[in-house]
A and B are shown apart, each in its own frame.
Chain A
Amino acid sequence: MSATGVGACFGAGLPPQGERVPFEMGDRLILWPGSSRERAVSYEAIRLEPGGFDRRHIQLRWTEDGAPWALVLDDTRMARAVRADPPPGLSGEVERLDAGLKRGRLVSGTGWSLVVGLVLLPMIALALLWWQADRIVGAAVARIPVAWEEQLGDAAYGQLTAGATVIETGPAVEAVEGIGERLAAAVESPYTLRWHVVDDPQVNAFAVPGGHVVVFTGLIREARSAEEVAGVLAHEIQHVLLRHSLRGLVRSLGWRAALSILFGDTGPLSGVGELASRLGTLKFGRDQETAADVEGLALLHRAKIDPHGMAAFFDALAKQEGGRVALLSTHPVSAERAARLRAEIVRAGAWPVVPLPYAWGRVRASIGTR
């Protein structure tokens, strides 16, 4: 076979930047540099090297009278053709060249994959964390002792009620504590549940980890019976018992830690004090609210309290949704919840009820109207 083509030739007597010369690959390499001088080079003398900036060229190099010569096949198509079908004398060299290039590609390929892997590793770790977040949080929360949680809760309660007026005595406090005691008697809990009434017009109640449950006077005013308040309290108790605040805290802490490990400092991790204040603003997820509703209903059952109050209260809230009802902003749509509660009540069937001994009108009157 004999291939012909044009390449850039470098050598003694040729311009330093090379000269484009026609060549022929037969029994020997024949080329015509300059105007007419024909040169023949035997293949034994030729070494092949990858050439050019991105190693796509082939350089044929040899020495003639002590001077280095080179023919550069800078047309990649021609270089490929020569590699695919070399003249017999060159096949050994082509094999060597191919092996070298292949090894280079292998090393580079492995290296680049490693680099890409390293870059993607944090993303993969993060995805894994997100995917398994519930399990990880659950495992972490299970290891946190109740005493620790109560300390945190005390600090949080102190901060949350720092600027508020806590009502210490009166029929409202007695009523809330009474309802609370009756509910607490119906659960086995490692927590000491404590009940507080805060003078605030918002229709709201919240639970702090460790057992503090805070009811705003706005809620007492809004409720039409003790059973309605009992429903809300049963719901809030379940947030404590199911350690929802703690889960949220661990989750957000964990995320912040993970993010700062993976992406560098995302702002200083806050101290315990700030954490405690964050507790008040933590939002429960929809799943957690539903769980608290269902478990709260079961608690009402055990405490022999009429569950229709709970459903009625959510109904009342649903009617004025969009008003200044703070309880709603973090909770699932009340109408939906009331409907689900009624379905649960029907499923559970009627249970013996011991009415709560409070004249609700008097309790409401005792906190005044504002």
Chain B
Amino acid sequence: MPQMHVIDYEIHGGDMQFVEIELDPEEAAVAEAGGMMYMADGIEMETVFGDGSGSRPGFLGALVGAGKRLLTGESLFMTIFVNTSREKKRVAFAAPYPGKIVPMMLGELGGTIICQKDAFLCAAKGVSVGIAFQKRLGVGLFGGEGFIMQKLEGDGLAFIHAGGALVERTLKPGEMIRVDTGCIVALQGSVNFDIEYVGKIKSALFGGEGLFFAVVRGPGRVWLQSLPLSRLANRIYAAAPQRGGRREEGSILGGLGGLLDGDN
């Protein structure tokens, strides 16, 4: 592993997790701007334009990297945390919503992982964070979250965050599963991705699912999440009082009950 930094880590928490990373002297980790939870004395923070992997040298390279990041809706900048002291130091990154943090050794997974746009949490310095997008029309129009994804390349450790519970499936060559487009967290580079029309207008209208599913086909590993943030947000938004949702679980006293229950 020429450029990659080897990282020791520990994942804490049950459903609201954070990952604590131990950096050896001179070792560095790269993270999405805004993901840091705490860091020990001796760790220096540096904000870089682009993904900081140095895979595309020069200003123009950084500009291209940053432009691609803009496409995925991420911040233009990433933060690099370098241990400048002479002993091991720790830095922690927290997941932004309930779910699981998945460590991935890119080197063992063929060097490439395609993941949902905002799933990336942090990685060893040297992992490049780029984008992968579909040129096919069907995926572009109906692929939902599958149209533009993030591509992590390298052979170091990367951490990905999934919403809700996480399931990892290993697909044999040619084996296929249909997934709601929002539930895909990550795909190994060798996995095929496509969009399939449900084909039944009745189930599309009344079934509550979308008109299109993502079809992932092996060989390779896929990681699926049970609760995409957008689903959670939809429910929370619909229940918000400003949107006409009910704050109570259903009191017949209504607004009066709200006055009396004492937790205003």
Residue pair B187, A53 in contact (C-beta under 8 Å):
yes
Residue pair B170, A68 in contact (C-beta under 8 Å):
no
Q: How far is the CA of A129 from the CA of B151 in the complex (A)?
A: 45
Shortest beta-carbon distance from A114 to chain B in Å: 9
Write out the residue numbers on chain B whose beta carbons fall within 8 Å of the beta carbon of A20: 110
Interface residues of B, Cβ cutoff 8 Å to A: 108-110, 112, 114, 132-137, 140-141, 149, 151, 170, 172-175, 187-193, 218-221
Residue pair B192, A55 in contact (C-beta under 8 Å):
yes
Q: How far is the CA of A74 from the CA of B109 in the complex (A)?
A: 12
Complex partner residue of B189 from A52, A67, A112, CB under 8 angstroms = A52
Residue pair A68, B192 in contact (C-beta under 8 Å):
no
Given contacts A17-B108, A115-B141, contact A54 B132 (CB under 8 A): yes
Would you give 29 A-B contacts (Cβ < 8 Å), ordered by A?
A10-B220, A11-B173, A16-B221, A17-B108, A18-B188, A49-B192, A51-B190, A53-B132, A53-B149, A54-B132, A54-B133, A54-B134, A61-B174, A68-B173, A68-B219, A69-B173, A70-B173, A70-B174, A70-B219, A72-B190, A72-B219, A74-B112, A74-B189, A108-B135, A108-B136, A108-B137, A111-B137, A112-B140, A115-B140
Write out the residue numbers on chain A whose beta carbons fall within 8 Å of the beta carbon of B221: 16-17
Q: How far is the CA of A61 from the CA of B133 in the complex (A)?
A: 25
Residue pair B114, A53 in contact (C-beta under 8 Å):
yes
Write out the residue numbers on chain B whose beta carbons fall within 8 Å of the beta carbon of A16: 170, 221
Count how many pairs of residues, one from A and one from B, have CB atoms less than 8 Å apart in the complex.
88
Write out the residue numbers on chain A whose beta carbons fall within 8 Å of the beta carbon of B219: 8, 10, 18, 59, 68, 70, 72
Chain A residue at smallest Cβ distance from B134 = A54
Residue pair B172, A17 in contact (C-beta under 8 Å):
no
Shortest beta-carbon distance from B41 to chain A in Å: 38
Complex partner residue of B136 from A51, A70, A72, A104, CB under 8 angstroms = A104
- Count residues on chain A whose CB falls below 8 Å from chain B CBs: 30
Write out the residue numbers on chain B whose beta carbons fall within 8 Å of the beta carbon of A55: 136, 192
Majority DSSP secondary structure for residues of B touching A: mixed
Write out the residue numbers on chain A whose beta carbons fall within 8 Å of the beta carbon of B193: 53
Q: Is the CB of A262 closer than 8 A to any CB of chain B? A: no
Write out the residue numbers on chain B whose beta carbons fall within 8 Å of the beta carbon of A107: 137
Interface residues of A, Cβ cutoff 8 Å to B: 8, 10-11, 15-18, 20, 49-55, 57, 59, 61, 67-70, 72, 74, 104, 107-108, 111-112, 115
Q: How far is the CA of A59 from the CA of B134 in the complex (A)?
A: 18
Shortest beta-carbon distance from A277 to chain B in Å: 39
Write out the residue numbers on chain B whose beta carbons fall within 8 Å of the beta carbon of A54: 132-135
Write out the residue numbers on chain B whose beta carbons fall within 8 Å of the beta carbon of A72: 190, 219
- Known contacts A17-B220, A53-B151, then 20 further A-B pairs from the complex at CB < 8 Å, ordered by chain A residue: A10-B218, A10-B219, A17-B108, A17-B110, A18-B220, A49-B192, A52-B190, A52-B191, A53-B187, A53-B192, A55-B192, A59-B173, A59-B192, A68-B172, A68-B173, A68-B174, A68-B175, A70-B190, A74-B110, A108-B137
Write out the residue numbers on chain A whose beta carbons fall within 8 Å of the beta carbon of B170: 16-17
Write out the residue numbers on chain B whose beta carbons fall within 8 Å of the beta carbon of A8: 110, 190, 219
Q: How far is the CA of A74 from the CA of B135 in the complex (A)?
A: 18
Shortest beta-carbon distance from A299 to chain B in Å: 62
Shortest beta-carbon distance from B87 to chain A in Å: 34
Chain B residue at smallest Cβ distance from A67 = B172
Q: How far is the CA of A11 from the CA of B171 in the complex (A)?
A: 11
Write out the residue numbers on chain A whose beta carbons fall within 8 Å of the beta carbon of B114: 53
The 5 closest A-B pairs by CB, nearest first: A70-B173, A111-B137, A10-B219, A16-B170, A68-B173
Residue pair A10, B172 in contact (C-beta under 8 Å):
yes
Q: How far is the CA of A61 from the CA of B220 in the complex (A)?
A: 13
Q: How far is the CA of A70 from the CA of B192 in the complex (A)?
A: 13
Write out the residue numbers on chain B whose beta carbons fall within 8 Å of the beta carbon of A52: 189-192
Shortest beta-carbon distance from B255 to chain A in Å: 35
Q: How far is the CA of A286 from the CA of B204 in the complex (A)?
A: 59
